[in-house]
Amino acid sequence: MDNKNIIITALGVGLTGGIIYYLSKFLKSEPLGFSRDQVLKMIKEYKRASLRVFVQTAEIVKRIKDQNGGKDTLKEGITIKDVVKDNIMNDLIQEREYIAKRYNISLEQFDNYYSIQYGGDKEIQEVCNQIQKTFENSLLGIPPSLEVSQQVKEKFSEDKVIEMQKKILKAQSKQFNNVFKDIKQETQQDHVDIESDLFKQKIRDLDIHQLKTDLLKKEGFEFEPESPCETFEKLSFQYKKTSKDYEIKLSQVINIYNKIKSDMLYSKVDDTYIDMIFN
């Protein structure tokens, strides 16, 4: 199996991806709908989203292995990897489906972009290889590294990260609210159909990742070699895992964010309301 098919399999596409790859040698690929930079952004989003899945998988594998006396093989020759692999594959598919839906494309199109149409792009394939390696390690009970430097921890305490989470979600809320207001004005209706093509297109046009990156940089959250978003999410994940207080506060912030989005569906929401409810 060549490198492209290995990457596709590791990302959860499996046999279907392999068939698509070989057919693409003989059949004309569908026209490109996304630029190389857009696909790179999508695959990086997937890398960040899959972090949670890989951490949980590694924990489950390690727990089963400990209960099994440190052995990888269970009864009748079944391995721990065999037991958990289907679940992790399903979780990864769900993560990719979520990203694909946000960009208003199918899962197959998403997989096609990074594995075939940009299969020769060095940077995109490097991210794919990183995902593959983390995937393989998680099935062995080895979690992805969540370590951040002491410099980052000293500069950004739990409370500081919670405040940054608030700023990010508040800014996102205002961007989403602008979309809702635009659609209500265009359709002359008080309700927004979030399944409509119009809504999906406007959400797709929002660059939430760039918004988050800019806010983090403004707060001084820029540490090489990782992107600000990746480092921030690792730090948040670490605090969530080690601090119940942080987990509770983060849950409260997310609940506020979800309430605002729910209010947008039927009620008129303005920036003043968003500022008030986040304070």
* pLDDT tens for each residue of 151-193: 888 889 999 999 999 999 999 999 999 998 888 888 888 788 8
The answer for 141, left when phi > 0, alpha when psi is -120 to 50, beta otherwise, is: left
pLDDT (tens digit per residue) in 44-93? 889 888 888 898 898 889 888 888 888 888 877 788 888 888 888 888 88
- pTM over 0.85? The answer is no
pLDDT of res. 224: 60
Cβ contacts of residue 203 below 8 Å, gap of 6+? 102, 176, 179
Match 């990203």 to its residue by tokens.
99
The C-alpha angle with vertex 200 and arms to 195 and 205, in degrees rounded to 5, equals 165
Nearest alpha-carbon partner for 208 in 112, 103, 109: 103
Of all residues in the chain, the percent with pLDDT exceeding 90 is 22
What pLDDT, on a 0 to 100 scale, did the predictor assign at position 13? 37
Beta carbons within 8 Å of 184's beta carbon, 6+ residues apart:
190, 192
187 backbone dihedrals φ, ψ, rounded to 5°? -90, -10
- Residue 225 is predicted with a pLDDT of 64
Tens digits of per-residue pLDDT, 118-159?
A: 889 999 999 999 999 999 999 999 988 888 888 888 889 999
Q: DSSP secondary-structure letter at 28?
A: P
Pairwise pLDDT comparison (249 vs 106), residue with the higher score:
249
Task: With beta carbons less than 8 A apart as the criterion, state whether 8 and 18 touch.
Answer: yes
From residue 69, alpha-carbon distances to 65, 80, 82, 178 in Å are: 6, 12, 17, 56
Q: What percent of the chain has pLDDT over 70?
A: 87
Residue 95: is its pLDDT beyond 60? Answer: yes
* pLDDT given at position 167: 93
Predicted pLDDT at 89: 86
pLDDT at 26 (0 to 100): 31
**pLDDT tens digits for 25-42?**
333 344 447 888 888 888
* 171/212 Cα distance (integer angstroms): 9
> What pLDDT score does 237 carry?
85
Question: Given a cut of 60, is residue 109 above it in pLDDT?
Answer: yes
